[in-house]
Chains A and B, each alone.
Chain A
Amino acid sequence: MSNMKRVQKEILAIEQDKEAHIEVILPEDGSMNHMTAKISGPVNTPYEGGLFTVDVSVPPEYPFLPPKMKFVSRVYHPNISSQTGAICLDILKDKWTPVLTLKSALISLQSLLSTPEPDDPQDAQVAAHYKRDKEDFEQTAKYWTEVYANPNAEVLPDGVKPEALARLVDMGFGRSNAINALAEFKGDEQAAVESLL
């Protein structure tokens, strides 16, 4: 791939910039056309304190075509699909130019988190929620940040989903008991609840 040189330099530039709070993790096979990025949620937003995982793939036509990015961490935001993590951001689409870089695109994702645009939504339901009751929206967004983008979250055993765990904890069960129960019943929430009762 002819753009490898540029991508390599771009990744190096991200690694050298400690101020941006962006991290890029390359796959172990050494390929550079697909990577994982971690971006911190901006302060004074419901995403503050979260560390969001973004899937980045670099098409062969890069930088003539934009990199493809989507959130792996679930995010509650009008311009990000709550189901698929797809992002509605002009510079990742028709406003892309080769002047932009992976770093500037990731920084734009951070600023998208700070400035939702509910009138140009990716997720119509979330946007409607935002427009109807912003305070309630922010509570949900904050809750999702804690559950899905918590940098301090322990690595959960296979089959234990953070949202299921959060619901069990909300019901009043102890966290470690809930994890064990969910692990034992391979994520089956109902069975886990019955065993805990």
Chain B
Amino acid sequence: MLKGFLRHKSIQPLTPPSPTLRASNMTSQEQNDWQPELTDEQILAFEQKIKDEEAEKIPLVCQKESIDALEKEFQDNKPFLEKVQKLKETNDELRKCRGDGNCFFRAFAFAWFESLMRNPHIFKAGVEKLKSTTELLLSGGFQELAFEDFYDVTLNQLEQIPDSDPDLLLVNFQTEEISNSIVMHLRFVTSAYLKIHSAEYEPFLIVESISIDQFCAQEVEAFGRESDHLQITALTKALDVPVEVLYLDGSSGDHVAVHEFWPDEASKGSRKALQLIYRPGHYDILYRKE
């Protein structure tokens, strides 16, 4: 049974159980214990409906907008508002992504592709890095069967960049089949990287007392599962793409905490990191003032 929140809700059973072959030696107590409840299929359908309704509110990746949108969002929340106002000194725009649990991967992918479009001199290295991920996935124990379709879509989208434009890139990232395949490929890459470097990352999982493999299956490979430090660290290293995450939270003062994820300390400062903005439970893309 699903452990879903709807589990206790009762509805009519599909068909009452009838006496069956040799199963009739059941006590009347057991017969009475049989409680009708929502089937797992009904629970899944209901949860899917909630997700779909949520999804229809905004595209997978939105148009860029002024950072004033954040001010509006937090107008009644002083600690957040102060930080947003401080942020306006360095950043002027943001791009929202749908809050479907994939927002980190989607925001990362879009910001990465966009940076390769704007900086042709790093494009080739980006393609090479992406091509090297098939080897990484095979070493991580993934079956080609399970990842090749997602990989093909991702590589195809990346290779189009020199002949593409920002509008087309956005349209493609708003197309579920393309956008979700890219998200899935990045999830697999993250998972493979963590598995290969498990000795390094397993200590971070001591509190949850689960293995890297379990963590990857539950939190990384599962489509729609939210991401945290471990996923960000692994992905930035696997693809050699630095990221800065600016954290908005309820702490006092106007200081925005910046968490830097550099693939290696040596390259720090030599190139520009992608910027994401995080507020509890959600990532969007942030743009610096030009």
What's the dominant secondary structure at chain B's contact region?
loop
Check: B199 CB closer than 8 A to any chain A CB: no
Q: Is the CB of B222 within 8 A of A97?
A: yes
Q: Mark A134-149, 1 if CB is under 8 A from B, else 0.
A: 0010011001100100
Measured in the bound complex, the distance between the Cα atoms of B17 and A128 in whole Å is 14
* A76: B residues at CB distance < 8 A: 23
Q: Is the CB of B184 within 8 A of A98?
A: yes
- A10-B145, A64-B180, A83-B15 in contact; A125/B40 too (CB < 8 A)? no
Measured in the bound complex, the distance between the Cα atoms of B218 and A3 in whole Å is 23
Check: A22 CB closer than 8 A to any chain B CB: no
* A9: B residues at CB distance < 8 A: 145
Check: B26 CB closer than 8 A to any chain A CB: yes
State which residues 140-183 of A face B: CB under 8 Å: 140, 143-144, 147, 163, 166
Distance (whole angstroms) from the CB of A11 to the closest CB of chain B:
11
Q: Mark B131-158, 1 if CB is under 8 A from A, else 0.
A: 0000000000011011001100000000
Identify A82's interface contact among B14, B23, B177, B223, CB under 8 A.
B23
* A3: B residues at CB distance < 8 A: 149
Query: What is the number of residues of chain A that contact chain B, defined by CB distance less than 8 Å?
Result: 41
Q: Is the CB of A6 within 8 A of B221?
A: no
Q: Mark B191-233, 1 if CB is under 8 A from A, else 0.
A: 1000000000000000000000000011001110000000000
* A64: B residues at CB distance < 8 A: 180, 184, 223
Measured in the bound complex, the distance between the Cα atoms of B150 and A129 in whole Å is 45
Q: Is the CB of B184 within 8 A of A129?
A: no
Check: A49 CB closer than 8 A to any chain B CB: no
Check: B266 CB closer than 8 A to any chain A CB: no
Check: B33 CB closer than 8 A to any chain A CB: yes
Q: Mark B1-39, 1 if CB is under 8 A from A, else 0.
A: 111100000000011011011110110001101110001
* B55: A residues at CB distance < 8 A: none
Query: What is the number of residues of chain B that contact chain A, defined by CB distance less than 8 Å?
Result: 39
Measured in the bound complex, the distance between the Cα atoms of B47 and A93 in whole Å is 12
* A126: B residues at CB distance < 8 A: 23
Most central of A83, A94, A97 by chain B CB within 10 Å: A97
Residue of A nearest to B142 (CB): A99
Task: List B residues at the A interface (Cβ < 8 Å).
Answer: 1-4, 14-15, 17-18, 20-23, 25-26, 30-31, 33-35, 39-41, 44, 142-143, 145-146, 149-150, 177, 180, 184, 188, 191, 217-218, 221-223
8 A-B pairs in the complex with CB atoms less than 8 angstroms apart: A82-B23, A95-B218, A98-B150, A99-B221, A125-B17, A125-B34, A128-B30, A140-B22
Supply 13 further A-B pairs (C-beta < 8 A) apart from A124-B30, A129-B23, A140-B23. A9-B145, A63-B146, A76-B23, A82-B20, A83-B18, A95-B217, A96-B222, A99-B146, A99-B217, A122-B1, A129-B26, A144-B21, A147-B21
Question: Closest 8 CB pairs between A and B?
Answer: A97-B221, A128-B30, A140-B22, A97-B222, A99-B221, A124-B34, A64-B223, A6-B149
